[in-house]
Chain A
Amino acid sequence: MTPAATTFHAAARTGHRRSTTESPTVRWLLIGVALVFLSLFLFIPLVAVFTQAFAKGTGFYIKTISDPMALSAIKLTFIAAVIAVPLNCVFGVSAAWAIAKFDFRGKNILLTLIDLPFSVSPVIAGLIYVLVFGAQGWLGLYLNADHPKFPWLAGWLNDHNIQIIFAVPGIVLATIFVTFPFVARELIPLMQAQGRNEEEAARVLGASGWQMFWRVTLPNIKWGLLYGVILCNARAMGEFGAVSVVSGHVRGRTNTIPLHIEALYDDYNFTGAFAMASLLALLALVTLALKLWVENKNAALNEVETEV
């Protein structure tokens, strides 16, 4: 990334139409401005996470992430993701199938509603589940043991010590909400672009619905699906605001990795907080790498198709 290594293939390629590109000075300047801006906001923070994580040496790092509280946070983060991602995946495929392959009234409204969770603040995403399941909430009033309605259900939940808000189910629900649109958003434009000819051909040739899905649709959308799943998973494991509202912040029980980071930070254990944060930063880097790989795969696939 050193300026000395900067080459201008563009200038060589477009030499015959010099009037449609900028002078080298302007180019250098713009590249410089872009790189300074990105360094300030992307590269330096990224380097800082890992540097601070190891500020007290590898021993401290390992001690922090193998602490029972940390391990329980890691476990809970995985549980939330393992439930939320497949559910939103099934939803995404199902929504994309209905929207991309069929025409019906209200399709645009449905598309807007699917995007809705993206425009809701994470804090509000948590709040709505407190309003529904909390002690003074909608269902809370029915599930509360003191209340006469549905005493059997309330009693059963009480006997089995099942709590939704300030407990694990609330965390899972909030995670599902914030990652709701990811897979659907990835698949809908893709399946709309692919049209329905291949599936119609499969049906005409006698394939059953499931055969058509597994042998025609799924192979066609697998990269887009993977892409959506990667993004969905990254958000599921990293969600902070929504989970913070519905979690009881009980260390070792209802803390996810991001909540554990906050707890360590509030205890002025900065190196510990960054050690935990480095795990999520690593996940982010893996996510970006996978994303790049899937994009290349997709581009290669498109090239083959246009050649044919």
Chain B
Amino acid sequence: MIVNTNRTKKIRVLPGFKLTLGFTVFYLGLIVLIPLSAVFWKTSSLTWAEFWHTVTMPVALASYRLTFGASFFAALVNAVFGFIVAWVLVRYEFYGKTLVDALVDLPFALPTAVAGITLASLYAKAGWIGQWLEPLGIKVANTQLGVFVALTFIGLPFIVRTVQPILEDLDPELEEAAASLGANRWQVFWRIIFPLLTPALLTGFTLAFARALGEYGSVIFIAGNIPLKTQITPVVIMGELDMYDYAKATAIAVVMLVVSFILLLSVNVLQWWTNRHNTTSLA
């Protein structure tokens, strides 16, 4: 984000500042801020003890462990393979590259319910992929592994799309200089390229992780939603809502929201770091 700060004193020639900013703030308040604040209003109807009891009940604790664990490992796997995909798409030429590049965004475009039933059927005992894993003793459907598979699917584009543009803009002279000074290819990658890509990689990882934490549609079909075992936190919230226990649902939602806000903040800090990193590396 480019923000000009040294022009503030200039006379405004362009019209519509008050109108557009006014509408923006009004619409943001109406659609996002007021409804979101209802969460905190509803939670305040609970005492601190009730709140703590709700957010630490065994079903909730088990769901945090699963949600955070599966999201973390899914983001990690995506960091490794997403990096390779980005590398291959930027550096090499192969038949069908344009198509592959376009399809990377599929998890963004494909509705989560569609992804959910598809993954569930692929990894079922008799499914296309499940039938090969079954003899090996690997069960995916209705297990925690299933949650991980679904979260890997939805997090896939984040790493590729954050690393790709940085890799494209990388100055080839840096690599040439290192090579001409006697560094071998592995040293060039590890000492020159990788450090330059680290901020982008971390941003992509955080985005994928944050997205996975809140994911619902693609997970519920493959996970089986067994309490204490394969229930992710959004499913626990949904369960409380189905019992019309809004206070409990909201208390758990607050825990998730706080974590999401912290992650949103880290993404902003990381992006700021990425921008700074790139400007210094270019200078």
Spell out A's residues near B (CB within 8 Å).
Answer: 1-2, 5-10, 17, 19-23, 27, 30-31, 33-35, 37-38, 40-46, 48-49, 52, 90-91, 94-95, 97-99, 101-104, 107-108, 110-117, 119-124, 127-132, 134, 136-138, 173, 176-177, 180, 188-189, 192-193, 196, 199-200, 203-204, 209, 212-213, 231, 234, 237-241, 244-245, 257-259, 261-262, 265, 270, 273-274, 277, 280-281, 283-285, 287-289, 291-292
19 more CB-based (< 8 A) A-B contacts, given A265-B117, A280-B110? A19-B180, A20-B175, A37-B81, A46-B103, A90-B23, A91-B23, A103-B5, A120-B260, A121-B213, A121-B234, A122-B214, A124-B257, A132-B38, A213-B16, A231-B109, A240-B112, A258-B217, A284-B114, A288-B105
B176 at the interface (CB under 8 A from A): yes
Chain A: CB-nearest residue to B93:
A9
**Cα(A107)–Cα(B268), bound, Å:** 14
Mark each residue of chain B from 1 to 25: 1 if its CB lies under 8 Å from any CB of chain A, else 0.
1111101100011111101110111
Asked if B185 and A270 make an inter-chain contact with CB atoms under 8 angstroms apart, the answer reads no
Asked if B105 and A291 make an inter-chain contact with CB atoms under 8 angstroms apart, the answer reads yes
- A107 contacts which chain B residues (CB < 8 A)? 3
Asked if B234 and A132 make an inter-chain contact with CB atoms under 8 angstroms apart, the answer reads no
Query: Contacting B17 at CB < 8 Å: which of A98, A122, A280?
Result: A98
User: When A203-B13, A258-B111 are in contact, do A34 and B175 touch as well, CB less than 8 Å?
Assistant: no
- A103 contacts which chain B residues (CB < 8 A)? 3-5, 7-8
- A189 contacts which chain B residues (CB < 8 A)? 1-2
**Cα(A22)–Cα(B267), bound, Å:** 32
Return A29 CB to nearest CB of chain B, in Å. 10
**Cα(A240)–Cα(B215), bound, Å:** 10
The CB with the most chain A CB atoms within 10 A, among B5, B42, B114, B265, is that of B114
B202 at the interface (CB under 8 A from A): no
Query: Contacting B114 at CB < 8 Å: which of A49, A113, A130, A245?
Result: A49
Return A293 CB to nearest CB of chain B, in Å. 10
Which 8 pairs from chain A and chain B are nearest by CB? A238-B111, A121-B214, A241-B216, A240-B217, A19-B179, A284-B109, A209-B15, A5-B95
Spell out B's residues near A (CB within 8 Å).
Answer: 1-5, 7-8, 12-17, 19-21, 23-25, 27-28, 31-36, 38-39, 41-42, 81, 84-85, 87-89, 91-96, 98-100, 102-119, 121-122, 128-129, 152-153, 156, 172, 175-176, 179-180, 185, 188, 210, 213-217, 221, 233-234, 237-238, 241, 246, 249-250, 253, 256-257, 260-261, 263-265, 268
- A114 contacts which chain B residues (CB < 8 A)? 28
The CB with the most chain A CB atoms within 10 A, among B113, B129, B176, is that of B113
Asked if B1 and A128 make an inter-chain contact with CB atoms under 8 angstroms apart, the answer reads no
- A97 contacts which chain B residues (CB < 8 A)? 16, 20
Asked if B214 and A119 make an inter-chain contact with CB atoms under 8 angstroms apart, the answer reads yes
- A180 contacts which chain B residues (CB < 8 A)? 31-32
- B110 contacts which chain A residues (CB < 8 A)? 46, 238, 280-281, 284
Asked if B24 and A98 make an inter-chain contact with CB atoms under 8 angstroms apart, the answer reads yes
**Cα(A107)–Cα(B5), bound, Å:** 11
Asked if B103 and A94 make an inter-chain contact with CB atoms under 8 angstroms apart, the answer reads no
Return B157 CB to nearest CB of chain A, in Å. 10
Asked if A119 and B114 make an inter-chain contact with CB atoms under 8 angstroms apart, the answer reads no
- B23 contacts which chain A residues (CB < 8 A)? 90-91, 94
- A101 contacts which chain B residues (CB < 8 A)? 14, 17
